[in-house]
Structure formats: structure tokens, C-alpha cells
Structure 1
Amino acid sequence: MFDQANPYSVSAAPVDQRAEFIRKTYFHVAGAIGMFALLLSGLLQIPAVVNLAFKMTGGMNWLIVLGAFMGVSWLANKWAHSSTSLSTQYLGLGLYVIAEAIIFLPIMAMATLYSSPAVIPQAALATLALFLALTFVAFTTKKDFSFLGGILKVGFLIALAVIVAGVIFGFNLGLVFSAVMVALAAGSILYNTSNMIHHYRTDQYVAASLGLFASIALLFWYILRIFMSRD
């Protein structure tokens, strides 16, 4: 994942370059979240899109949507890690944000139409609080959490298998699954924040922001599911 052409990782760079990289990364994360929210807000105002959102989860349709999302995510990550073109990196980040907005349509439509108006803001605040806490841990401990990579891969593969089984056999994944996914998303935030500090080059702020945004979106999805289950 990490291009070694530039010998300076963030951890080895001068203090001013480290600070600039971190500032740019979180600026891009904030921009991605803002674009994601605007896209979702606009799409949910279109009745035809809302109807399409509910059809996305019907039967095997959800597996097709998940497969398409995984393919687009792979392409977006490849572009975001491009070492030859900054415009390609931005294209990757933009593509990923659009893909996340589309896959979020069903759950956001259900939350908007069938849950309390407070559910989405509460889930967003809980996500922000947990993200800030995990970021604080990563920066203050200065620990390299790259060892989580293998654990997360296995965890996400198992989770994907459970999701596929749930769609095929029609069983509800329930609160326990959501809680486990929150834990995996939290681990992913630690992992990506650690990579940002210890392994990325100082010119890879777009790729770093994509990784963090992806983890935040996953965390928000399952926290929102937990909050929706209370209504």
C-alpha cells in the first residue's frame, strides 16, 4: 500500500512537515464528510432515489450493491495512492465519497422516515466522540498499531461472510453483530491513524484521509443501526 519512493515517512519528517501533513489529512477528512453529508441530503430529497434506496436492500440486490461497492472502493483506493498524479488521488477520494453516499441511502432513508428525528444527530455525535477518543489514544501513546492489520482483515472477512449468509438465509444480524462491527471500525480508526503517523509519506495526505473517512463511515453506519434499534 505504501510507496517507498519517498524516503520520508511522516514520523521521520521534520516537525513542520509532520504538522502540515496532519493538518492537510484532517482537512480532507472534514471535506469528505461534508461532501458525503451534502450528497446524502440532496439525494434523499428525491422521491425516486428514496424508492430506489429501498429496492437496493431487497433480496439478493444488497449483495450486488455490496459487490459493486467493494469494486469501486478498491479502485478508489488505488487511485488515492497514486504516486504520479495528485488529480488522480482526488478522483479516488471523490469516487469513494460518492460510493459511500450511495450505499448509505437505504439506512439513512429508514432512519429519516421511520426513526426519531434525533437518531441521526445522536449517532453522528457518538461517532465523533469515539473517533476523537481513538485519535487521542493514537497520538498520545505514539504506538504503532499496524499489528492490527491482520486482525482487521480476518475480522472483516468473517463479517462479510456473516452478512452474505444473512442475506441468503434471511436472518437478522442483530445488536451483537452491530456491536462487533463498532469494535472493528474502532480498530480500523486506530490502525489508519497509526499508519498516518508512522507509515505514510508526507505527500500522501489524500490517501490517508480516504482511509480515515472509510473507517469513520463504517463506525457511523453501525452506531446508527444500534441507535435505530432503540426506536
Structure 2
Amino acid sequence: MMTDVLVAHSSEVEKADFYKKTYLHVALSILAFIGVETILLKTVPPEIIAMMFGQKYTWLLIIGVFWLASVLASKWSLSQSKSTQYLGLGFYILLEAVIFMPLLYIAVNMAGGAHVIFQAAMLTIAMFAGLSAVAFTSKRDFSFLRNVIIIGGFLSIGLIIAGAIFGFNLGLWFSVGMVILASASILYETSKLQNVYTTGQYVGASLQLFASIMLLFWYILRILMSRRS
């Protein structure tokens, strides 16, 4: 069972244990994502992957299902049951791997694709580390970013849907804006580690951080790929 003690009200030892478990789960989630993605790219036929980004309404359906399923996975990850928490985290990792398939398939098959993916991964890790350090050392409460993230999220979803329906390219500046939004999300989620979660909610906390990292990685990779095209 989870404790009801807020991390902010716990002892230094309990705080350190919570942070260690949270970031360990983030790291394991990334490794699991790499493993699942590798298997998918090797086993899923290219024709099926092409259908995901070749048909605009198919892609919209996938995005809709992903959004609904991610809400469910997030809810599971904060359950009182540890097995349900891990089910939510594992389900979300699988969802991310499926959503990333088309983008990574294109990246892998473009000239210098492996280098671009590696570069995007290193930039993502560096930005995540820097933003986490700011959130922990500044002692600021970044909860004010919540409304910015919600509004930005709805605007971005609206633009993505409009782009898919009407066939226009959102372009480089949209990707830059999404990198900023993902960075704000990392600051907000890191701030929540200190102020919102209880010491038993490290699985749910790791899922939220993992989601922000993957959003950041997606758009950094898109920016780097656009420079190669």
C-alpha cells in the first residue's frame, strides 16, 4: 500500500528514496521503450508503418486512441495497487513505442539517420538534466506553468488535427514551440515531485516525467530531421 505522506512533509531520507525510485523508473522506462521500439521496427511490416503516416485519418485515429489510453495509463499508474501502477506504466511505454514507429522508421532510413537519432537523444538528455537541475536548485514553485501547459497542449492538438485534415505542414517553428512546451512540462513535473506526490507514488511520477521527456525527444528529432531534408 502507498503511504499518504507528502514528499514535501517527509524526512530527508524518505525524500531521497522517493527521488531515487522515481528517476530509476524513468531510466528503466527509457530502456524499455528502446527495447520495444527495436522489436517493433524489426517485426512490423513497412507497409503497416507507412499506413500510419500515409493516411491522415488513420493518424488522427491513432492520436485520439493514444490520448484516451494515456489518460487511462496515467490513472492506473497512480493507483493504490502496485501491480496496477506498473500496468499503467508498461501500457504507456508500449503506446509511446507505437506512436514513435513512423517517425523513427523515417529517421532510420534517411541518410545519417542513426547519427541524427543519437544526436537528438543526447540533446534530450542534456536538456532534461539541465531543466531538472533548475527545478531542484532554484527552490521555485513551477505550478504556475500548469495553465500554460494545458492551454499550449490544446492549441497544439488543434493545430495537429487541422494540419492533418487540411494537409498543411506545421513547420519548424511549431516544433520549436513544442520543445518549449515540453521543457515547461519537465519543469512543472519536476516541481510536482517536491510538492504534490506522496512517497509511494514514484511509479506515477516517473510516467509523467517519461511522457515529458518523450515529447521533448520527438520534437528535437523532428527539428534535426528537417535540417537534413
Is 1:110–2:106 an aligned residue pair?
yes
CA distance in 2, matches of 1:54, 1:80: 32
- Aligned AA (1:41): T
Is 1:96–2:92 an aligned residue pair?
yes
Per-residue CA deviation, residues 112-155 of structure 1 (Å, 9 max, x unaligned), is 01241310000000000000000000010121111111110000
Structure 1 segment 183-194 matched on structure 2, within 5 A: 183-194=180-191
Specify the alignment match of 1:206 in structure 2: 203
Structure 1 runs (4+) deviating above 6 angstroms are none
Specify the alignment match of 1:19 in structure 2: 16
- Aligned AA (2:86): Y
- Aligned AA (2:145): L
What is the TM-score normalised by the length of structure 1? 0.95
Displacement of 1:59 in angstroms is: 2.0
Unaligned runs of 5+ in 2: none
CA distance in 2, matches of 1:89, 1:7: 16
CA distance in 2, matches of 1:18, 1:47: 42
CA distance in 1, matches of 2:197, 2:44: 42
> Does the 8 Å contact 1:115/1:228 carry over to 2?
no
Change (3 A) 1:10 1:118: same
Specify the alignment match of 2:219 in structure 1: 222
> Does the 8 Å contact 1:39/1:98 carry over to 2?
yes
> Does the 8 Å contact 1:119/1:224 carry over to 2?
yes
Q: CA RMSD in A?
A: 1.1
- Aligned AA (1:161): G
Displacement of 1:6 in angstroms is: 5.1
CA distance in 1, matches of 2:202, 2:225: 34
What is the TM-score normalised by the length of structure 2? 0.96
Displacement of 1:159 in angstroms is: 0.3
> Does the 8 Å contact 1:185/1:218 carry over to 2?
yes
> Does the 8 Å contact 2:18/2:200 carry over to 1?
yes
- Aligned AA (1:107): L
Displacement of 1:54 in angstroms is: 1.6
Higher helix share: 2
- Aligned AA (2:67): M
Q: Between Structure 1 and Structure 2, how many residues are aligned?
A: 225
Percent identical: 48
Displacement of 1:164 in angstroms is: 0.3
Specify the alignment match of 2:68 in structure 1: 71
CA distance in 2, matches of 1:209, 1:176: 29
